[in-house]
Amino acid sequence: MEKPVIHIKPPSRLSLGFKELWQYRELFYFFTWRDIKVKYKQTYLGVLWALLQPLGMMLIFTFLFSKTWPINTGDIKYPVFVLSGLICWNLFSSSVSHAGDSMVQNANIIKKIYFPRLIIPCSAMLVALFDFLIAFMIFIILCFVLQQPPSWTAILYFPAGIVMSLLSAAGLGLLLAALNVKFRDFRYALPFLLQVLFFASQVIYPLQSVQQSLFKYLLAINPMNAAIELFRAPLSNISPDMTIVAIGTCSSVSLLIIGLLYFRKTEAYFADLA
Amino acid sequence: MKPAIEILNLGKQYKLTTSAPYVALRDVISESAKNIFLSKKKEQDSFWALRDINLSIEPGERVGIIGRNGAGKSTLLKIISRITPPTTGEAIIRGRVGSLLEVGTGFHPELSGRENIYLNGSILGLKKAEITKQLDAIIDFSGVEKFIDTPLKHYSSGMQLRLAFSVAAHLEPEILLIDEVLAVGDMEFQKKCLGKMEEVSKKDGRTILFVSHDLSAVTTLTTKCLLLEKGLPVKYDTTSSVISEYANRMSQHPVYTAEAVTTIPTITKVEINTSEAGSIQGHGKPMSILFEIDMPSQGYAGMALSFQIFNHLNIPILFNWVFDTENVICRTKGKNYLRFTYDELKLYKGSYYLKVHLAETKHRNKFQEIDCCNFNVEMINLKEPEWGWNDGVCQVLDKGKWETY
């Protein structure tokens, strides 16, 4: 067997190190497995919590916005409309908050063992994806119960919406994870930031109901609007607004590049700072 | 055959921060705002934790790294295991590296023993298939078979340690880095682990780098040693000659002296007055320690001076302190003198040294921490017990009385 040769030098050039990430794929698996396993230990309802939370929110919003202050959601029934937005939003927000906190939470491991640091926030995001998949099944059932089955375009649009949510979450999550190691302030800013983003995303209202087009496109910079736009497309007959999708894709990709570069640039010193 | 580890001019510099290691954004902003107005560049102190390390270790060699606290031993291992990057120089490692900087890294209390073996093993670099292959051996070695499917939080700390050691002892990388980890846990199990590691290394020609304060463990496990002092390499030779050099250096300087640094408070002199000549102190006799501290200005309130007495295994035995808030000290500019006296020093025979700390409590600044003033305690003019004064039976001897009742 060829022995691996490791060359240790002061950090200089930037590399994304995906090859190394692949070598450590088993550790990746174990971290994700640990987090999923630990998450619902000592809970009576266990994984059901992944369903109850979005369903509860759906009931509240349905009560508020389909009966009390009706919102025009076109040909989509409000419960389906809001749940489709909520599960995407939950995927994004729990990915960001888990990833953002992950480096600090695992500080004791970071200080003792070497492995590609990217594994930690990424596996934190996979835990959120696991919860999403459970909620997603309930969402599909609800679609059929309320007689609003998604069209066949879902094969394309659902994965597109999910990938867009994950990419945006990865960019923001990585940036916050790295910043959190140095400045613990971001821990406290994060819940507030997520709340602002929630209202700036078309979860409970359709973005098309925003009258001024300038404001609408300004909101589209929030990549979650594009993600939800894509995810909801198979539920109605109207095709997604491609301008919103394009703006969202641009901001999501730039966020990912910034997050990834900043994380890579600072990761060498995590052990000294954590 | 190329060496397993090649180290060239390796160095690591740390920036000294006065506050906590992580920073609050507020401080960064306020500091930079201050700097704009005062147009003064903030002086950042830095120090070299490690410098000019050159080392070449052949495959199969077992090398110990020794030195006092803060000599840079752990920093060296951290660089080789890639946890922290070096500031200068480079290192080439040929082979799979397994590092054991702490046993049980990543153990999760909610997971069962079996699950933790997998998690911990994979953190330490084992493949899943390798863990499965060794699972029975690991469980057997640990001696906690009965509880292997119980969550770890129900384990006693001893059981957790045994499980952690067992995983560690079954690591099979070509290069194994071990830091202090064998210093905890029960003696018998420790020996079992040391034995296992020695066996594996001799049989498969594994390279081992071993950091420890326990000189006897270093002697059993290693053939060569590197002595570090203040981050600099002092000697790299056979274990026995390096250990004797280390012991020699530890007993050399009974008086510590240093130049005053004009910007911060400095300990300029520490002198120990032992009851006998040649840094020898009789048990139960008085001993005094003289401190000389240089203050850059008058305005320091809240200074604190403390010292610990460590034994030869670098374990702190005694601790004494004085605070400005209770007993006014170090208020004058220039030299300040302080004396501490033990009326009857209760240390048992053995060799000891002082670690002196100079700090300020108000802003939690630590100015200095120095190891100095080695001395030996002897049992002079004391009635010997029937079995004689044996080495290492205790650290402190206190009076008391026996009676039948």
Domain locations in chain B as residue ranges = 5-249, 255-378
By Cβ distance, the residue of A5, A10, A34 closest to B92 is A5
**Averaged pLDDT for residues A216-232:** 91
d(CA A184, CA A177): 10
* Higher per-residue confidence, A79 vs A20: A79
Contacts of B132 (CB under 8 A, 6+ apart): none
d(CA A256, CA A249): 10
CA-based end-to-end distance of chain B: 72
In this predicted structure, the answer to whether residue B9 has a pLDDT above a threshold of 60 is yes
By Cβ distance, the residue of B87, B94, B122 closest to A27 is B122
Check if B99 contacts A (Cβ < 8 Å): yes
State the pLDDT at residue A228.
93
Closest-CA residue of chain B to A1: B95
Please identify among residues 46-105 of chain A the ones whose CB lies closer than 8 Å to any CB of chain B: none
Closest-CA residue of chain B to A117: B83
CATH topology of domain B255-378: Coagulation Factor XIII; Chain A, domain 1 (2.70.50)
* Higher per-residue confidence, B102 vs B322: B322
d(CA A212, CA A219): 11
Instruction: Count the Cβ atoms, other than its own, within 10 Å of residue A53.
Output: 15
Class of domain B5-249: alpha beta
Provide the 3-class DSSP secondary structure of residue B344: coil
* H-assigned helices in chain A: 18-23, 25-39, 49-62, 78-105, 107-110, 119-145, 154-182, 185-199, 213-219, 223-232, 242-266, 270-273
One-letter identity of residue A240: P
By Cβ distance, the residue of B81, B86, B174 closest to A10 is B86
Contacts of A18 (CB under 8 A, 6+ apart): none
Q: Give the residue among A75, A81, A100, A66 at the shortest CA–CA distance from A183.
A: A100
State the pLDDT at residue A225.
92
State the pLDDT at residue A97.
93
**pLDDT tens-digit profile of A141-151?**
999 998 888 88
* Higher per-residue confidence, B171 vs A101: A101
Both tokens assigned to B100 = 């054991």
CA A96 to chain B, closest CA, distance in angstroms equals 20
Give the count of alpha carbons within 13 A of A199, CB side only.
5
State the pLDDT at residue B41.
47
Residues of B in contact with A113 (CB under 8 A): 81, 83, 99, 101, 105-106, 123-124
By Cβ distance, the residue of A9, A38, A185 closest to B25 is A185
By Cβ distance, the residue of B80, B89, B105 closest to A109 is B105
In this predicted structure, the answer to whether residue B81 has a pLDDT above a threshold of 90 is no
Residue with tokens 């007959």: A237
State the pLDDT at residue B182.
56
**pLDDT tens-digit profile of A130-174?**
999 999 999 999 999 988 888 888 889 999 999 999 999 999 999
Give the ipTM of the model, two decimals please: 0.81
d(CA A21, CA A66): 47
CA B147 to chain A, closest CA, distance in angstroms equals 18
pLDDT band at B184 (very low <50, low <70, confident <90, very high): low
State the pLDDT at residue B19.
47
**Averaged pLDDT for residues A74-83:** 87
CB contact under 8 A, B127 and A26: yes
Check if A3 contacts B (Cβ < 8 Å): yes
**Averaged pLDDT for residues A103-117:** 87
CB-based contact B11:B48 (threshold 8 Å): yes
d(CA B155, CA B162): 10
Sign of CA dihedral B196, B198, B202, B208: positive
Extended strands (E) in B23-107: 46-57, 62-66, 88-94, 97-100
| Strand-pair partners of B55 | B7
pLDDT band at B213 (very low <50, low <70, confident <90, very high): low
Check if B63 contacts A (Cβ < 8 Å): no
One-letter identity of residue B166: S
CB-based contact B211:B200 (threshold 8 Å): no
CA A149 to chain B, closest CA, distance in angstroms equals 41
The length of chain A is 274
Give the count of alpha carbons within 13 A of B31, CB side only.
13
**Averaged pLDDT for residues B91-114:** 83
Provide the 3-class DSSP secondary structure of residue A247: helix
CB-based contact A199:A226 (threshold 8 Å): no
Instruction: Identify the residue among B99, B108, B123, B152 best suited for mutation to test binding to A, counting A beta carbons within 10 A and taking the highest.
Output: B123
Check if A274 contacts B (Cβ < 8 Å): yes
Residue with tokens 């600099």: B232
pLDDT band at B321 (very low <50, low <70, confident <90, very high): very high
**Averaged pLDDT for residues B246-255:** 68
Residues of B in contact with A182 (CB under 8 A): 22-23
| Strand-pair partners of B396 | B347
CB-based contact B272:B292 (threshold 8 Å): no
Check if A26 contacts B (Cβ < 8 Å): yes
Residue with tokens 């971001």: A186
Both tokens assigned to A18 = 């995906």
State which H helix or E strand residue B38 sits in: helix B25-38
d(CA A179, CA B235): 41
**pLDDT tens-digit profile of B283-311?**
999 999 999 999 888 878 889 999 999 88
**Averaged pLDDT for residues B236-259:** 77
CA B83 to chain A, closest CA, distance in angstroms equals 5
Check if B347 contacts A (Cβ < 8 Å): no
State the pLDDT at residue B40.
47
In this predicted structure, the answer to whether residue A245 has a pLDDT above a threshold of 80 is yes
In this predicted structure, the answer to whether residue B135 has a pLDDT above a threshold of 70 is yes
CB-based contact B77:A113 (threshold 8 Å): no
State the pLDDT at residue A150.
86
State the pLDDT at residue A164.
93
State the pLDDT at residue B276.
81
Mean pLDDT of chain B: 82
**Averaged pLDDT for residues B60-86:** 86
**% chain B with pLDDT above 90:** 12
Residues of B in contact with A10 (CB under 8 A): 85-89
CB-based contact B252:B279 (threshold 8 Å): no
**Averaged pLDDT for residues A109-114:** 86
Is B346 buried (19+), middle (13-18) or exposed (0-12) by CB count in 10 A? Answer: middle
CB contact under 8 A, B85 and A30: no
CB-based contact B281:B287 (threshold 8 Å): yes
By Cβ distance, the residue of B22, B81, B115 closest to A114 is B81
In this predicted structure, the answer to whether residue B186 has a pLDDT above a threshold of 90 is no
Residues of B in contact with A29 (CB under 8 A): 128
State the pLDDT at residue B218.
80
**% chain B with pLDDT above 70:** 88
* Higher per-residue confidence, B274 vs A66: B274
Instruction: Count the Cβ atoms, other than its own, within 10 Å of residue A149.
Output: 12
Mean pLDDT of chain A: 87
**Averaged pLDDT for residues B356-360:** 88
Least confident of A161-170, B93-102, B140-149: B93-102
State the pLDDT at residue A129.
93
CB-based contact A228:A84 (threshold 8 Å): yes
Check if B282 contacts A (Cβ < 8 Å): no
